[in-house]
Amino acid sequence: MGRAIWGTSGGFQGKNGANIGRWLNGQNIVGPLPHPSQTPPSTAQLNQRAKFGLVTSWLRIVKGVIRTGFNVHKEKVSPWNAAVQYNLEYAVTGVAPNFTINYPMVMFCKGELSPPLDVTVATAAGANLEFEWDTLFNVAFGADTDKATFVVYNPDKNLFVVLAGAVTRVAATYTLQLPTSFVGDQVQCYMSLLSADGKVSSDSVFVGALTVV
């Protein structure tokens, strides 16, 4: 049953007979209930659905990073939708039905802040990753107080390790402790920066893939 929001002659939300009302971009939109298509999906449609499911199921685990990090996108497009669109277009590889994530092409963050430069990562005993980067940046698009975010993905275990606001841009180095169960597994490593007020992000940078020791 629909819920009237402006009286009996106004808009409504929810199902009402053959119509449905919903909020969209600040407006109450009323339209007919959708009907399932009777046409079987094409191969291209099935492939696109498979890619979409792959990307959304993978990215949903790091929604928090995307929410603050993907802040350059078209008007009225949410950070989540913008991230899905970008990675669906650029970060899926393989031939149907064996689609996979192309890790070096993934972006968790996309913004106007100066990105970390010349980032490297090395393994250290005890399941540690040692990140280093150049502290130079464009002063018009960054500050010493920008905070580093690290994202590490373990494909073998399908697990993410995410650390936001670990250190400032000028720290130039950070040692990230991973679970000891990651030893012997290969991990994919990323870094990005976020302004101190949390409003502007840099692009995320793929740092590399390496085996945890």
Residue count of the chain: 213
Domain presence at residue 68: yes
Please tell me the distance from the alpha carbon of residue 65 to that of residue 52, in angstroms, as a whole number: 19
Q: What is the mean pLDDT of residues 167-181?
A: 98
Nearest Cα to 122, choosing from 191, 189, 181?
189
Q: What span, in angstroms and rounded, lies between the C-alpha atoms of 110 and 14? A: 35
Residue 8 inside a domain? The answer is no
CATH number of the domain residue 122 falls in: 2.60.40.10
Domain containing 187: what range? 43-211
pLDDT reading at 12 higher than 70: no
CB-based burial label for 87 (10 Å; 0-12, 13-18, 19+): buried
Number of structural domains found in the chain: 1
Instruction: Please indicate, yes or no, if residue 113 is contained in any of the structural domains.
Output: yes
Q: What is the pTM of this model?
A: 0.81
Mean pLDDT of 71-83: 84
Residue 140 is assigned to a structural domain of this protein: yes
Where is average pLDDT lowest: 3-7, 9-13, 92-96, 99-103?
3-7
- Spatial contact of 192 and 202, defined as CB atoms under 8 Å apart: yes
Q: Is residue 87 part of a domain?
A: yes
pLDDT of residue 39: 79
In this predicted structure, which of 25-34, 38-47, 59-68, 150-159 has the lowest mean pLDDT? 25-34
State residue 157's pLDDT score: 97
**Is residue 24 a part of any domain in this protein?**
no
